Structure 1
C-alpha cells in the first residue's frame, strides 16, 4: 500500500477505537437497547434477545431492557427465565409495579401461593386500582376464603368485575369459573370457559375444565366433542 494511503487508513482505525473508548457503558447499553427494540419491531426476536443480553453486560441496571426481555420470554413460554428477570427488577427497585404484578400473576399460575401473596400484597399497596392488581387480589382473597370455609362472594364479585373490564384476564376468569362450579352453576361455568377459549384457544387448562364440566353434566355428546378437540383423556 502506498505510504500516502497507509497513514490515513491507520488514522481512521485509531479514530474509530478512540471513539469507541469514549462511549460510556450506559451509552453502549442504550445503543444495544435501541437495536434490540428495532429488531423486535421487525419480528427478529432471537437477535433482539441477544442485543438485550448485551445491554445487561454493559449496564445491569437498565430496567427498561430487562422488563422488555422478561415480557418477551414470558410470551415465549420461558417462564423460569422471565420470573428470574422480574425478581432481578424488584431487587433493583422494590417499587417496580410492573415487575410485582407479573411476579404475582406467574406465582398464582404456578400455585406458588407464598410468593404470590408476598408480591401481590406489595402490588396492592402500590397500585390498588390497576385492574390486574384487582384480579390478583381477588384471587388471593378468594382462595383464603375457600380455605377458611367462609363466604367467598365478595372476592368472587370483585373478580367478575375485573373480568368484565378485561375479558383476557386469565386470573379473574379462574376465580369466576371456580366460584360458579362451587355454587353448582354449571351453565355459568361452561359459558366462562367457552368465552375464555374464544379469546385464547391455546389455554389447555380451559379445555380440560370444559371436558370435565360436560362430563359432570352428563352431556355425553358434548363431552366426546370437547374431548376430541382437546385431544386428552376425559377428566373424572
Structure 2
C-alpha cells in the first residue's frame, strides 16, 4: 500500500486508495482494517482514516466489527448479478440520453480512454480500474443526471472484480480498450441506435468472468 500525501483531501485519497484495493481483490474479503494500523502504514493521522473507513462502510464495502475494526465484505453471487443488471439498465439509458443530447467537449473522455489503453499496455490493473471508473463517471456527468450518476457509481463501487487478473480478465481488459474509443465516436456521430447495445455489452461482458472466478473460489473452499 503506497503512502498517501498530506493535504486537505486526505480522506478522499484514502477512500479512493482503499476502494481500488478492495474492488481489485488486493484487499480480499475478510480482511480486517484497523484505524491505528492503517494510520501507521500510510503515515497520517487517525482522523481521515476513520472517516474513510466509515465512508466505505456506508458504501457497502466494509462492515464494522466491535473492538476490532472494519472487515471487507464479500458480496454474494446473486448480489453481484443484481448489480450488473441494474447497472446495465441505468447506464445504457444514460448513455442513450447523452448521445441524443450530444456533448461539445469530449477531451476528458479521450484522455481517460488513453489512460485505460496505457494501463492495459503496462498491465497496471489498479490504474486500469481507476481510469475506467473515471471514464464512466465522466459519461454519467455529461448525461446531466447527478442522482443517477451517484446511484450508478455507488453500485459500481460495491462490486468485486473477481478474476480481473485471470487470463479471461486480462483479455477482457484488452478488448475493452477499443470499446472506450467507440463510445466516444458514438457520441460524436450521434449514433443513438448503436449506443444502447454497445453500453450493455460493454458492461455485461465482465459478468461471466466474475461469476466464473467466484465459482472457482467456492469450489476450492469446499475441497
TM-score w.r.t. structure 1 length? 0.24
- Name which structure has the greater RCO, CA cutoff 8 Å, separation 6+: 2
Higher strand share: 2
When you count helix as a share of all residues, which structure comes out higher?
1
